[in-house]
Amino acid sequence: MSPSPYLDMLDEMLGAGVTGLSKAFVDAQVGFVTGCQQPDGGFRGRQGGSDLYYTDFALRSLALFAGGRTAFDRAASYLGRRTYPLRSIVECFSLLSAWRLLERRVTASANDFSDPPRDELSILKEQVYKHRLPRGGFARLDGDGRVSAYHTFLGALCCQMLGEDLPAVEDAVDAIAALKRVDGGYAELEGQPASQTSATAAAVAFLMMHDALVPEKTAETAQFIARMQAADGGLKPHAAAGSSDLLSTFTGLVTLAALDGLPSIDTAGVAKFLRSSSHPCGGFLACAGDDSPDVEYTYYGVGILALLRVSQ
């Protein structure tokens, strides 16, 4: 496994933000996440059994708190029983990301985990490249062949962790740059007229990874993100949305932090929204009206708290 400069940077930024949090808060979040671990060592979402996607988010949350040592050991056993082919580029990323975290945290006593062998990395590379478009960028496997900001971002991260250069990088940069809209944001797919918060976050991160952001144009992108702040203090997924959610708030804040744009939003409002999304027994909810926390949104909630703390 190779390092991922982008993921390492994000880990470092969020890790700095959670330092000094109260023991009661940390214990509640670690307790909630570890409570979602299944007998096979994987982690569940809101329903069903263990899932690679949620296992990755659970390990990311636990890694921020440097907790859950036993949970990491058990997750190593789950990942050691992985099967192929994986269903999507999202699962490929989740597996590589989880491997990356386990390499850092697994104890010497966990003999169920070892560095992924070359043949498995070769299989993953082949699966990731199935999503690659000849004209640059990556598409959703179940889509219509249009370039996707999110999947191109994940594809680039997978290449980093696989130790591969991104194929046709200049074409990919051009494909993602073409998703920018007049309001400063980015669409998720070719042909979509409306910018989206998380698609903008993915596009900006991808362009930053390849030194392709135009400094003179970043202010308008930060302004687009800032305009997504709703009355409840969180960030909306797109301009037409009626309310905010934790995912959009997290991805928007990560983007604003990267663009030095956090002063452009009401951080006190974000903090109020975050408090309303916190479950009293640990974990975080997705949005207003949600009543069930899960490990994905717990990562976003903790991440938002970390970003607010480092911005002070």
Domain count, the chain: 2
Q: Are residues 110 and 141 in the same domain?
A: no
Residue 42 maps to a domain: yes
- Give pLDDT tens digits for 60-71: 999 999 877 889
Per-residue confidence band for 108, with pLDDT thresholds at 50, 70 and 90: very low
Share of the chain above pLDDT 70, in %: 96
End-to-end CA distance of the chain: 35
Given this model, what pLDDT does residue 109 score? 46
Residue 29 maps to a domain: no
Among 96, 125, 154, residue at a domain's last position: 125
Given this model, what pLDDT does residue 119 score? 76
Q: Are residues 114 and 137 in the same domain?
A: no
Q: Are residues 104 and 118 in the same domain?
A: yes
In contact, 137 and 143? CB cutoff 8 Å: no
Q: pTM for the complete prediction?
A: 0.94
Residue 50 maps to a domain: yes
In contact, 8 and 301? CB cutoff 8 Å: no
Residue 23 maps to a domain: no
Q: Give the domain range for residue 176.
A: 131-213
Between CA 29 and CA 133 the distance in angstroms is 40
Q: Are residues 90 and 115 in the same domain?
A: yes
Q: Are residues 46 and 120 in the same domain?
A: yes
Q: Residue range 275-293: average pLDDT?
A: 93
pLDDT at 141 exceeding the cut of 80: no
Q: Are residues 113 and 137 in the same domain?
A: no
Q: Residue range 289-295: average pLDDT?
A: 92
Per-residue confidence band for 106, with pLDDT thresholds at 50, 70 and 90: low
Q: Are residues 99 and 143 in the same domain?
A: no
Q: Are residues 68 and 136 in the same domain?
A: no
Q: What angle do CA 195, 147, 134 make, to 5 degrees?
A: 155
CA nearest to 22, candidates 65, 60, 69, 63: 65
Q: Residue range 171-178: average pLDDT?
A: 97
> Residue 66 — left, alpha, or beta (φ > 0 → left; ψ -120 to 50 → alpha)?
left
- Give pLDDT tens digits for 33-49: 999 999 999 999 988 89
Q: What angle do CA 306, 102, 284 make, to 5 degrees?
A: 35
Residue 161 maps to a domain: yes
Per-residue confidence band for 115, with pLDDT thresholds at 50, 70 and 90: low
Q: What is the mean pLDDT of the chain?
A: 92
Among 213, 240, 263, residue at a domain's last position: 213
pLDDT at 132 exceeding the cut of 90: yes
Residue 98 maps to a domain: yes
Given this model, what pLDDT does residue 114 score? 56
Residue 261 maps to a domain: no
Between CA 175 and CA 89 the distance in angstroms is 18
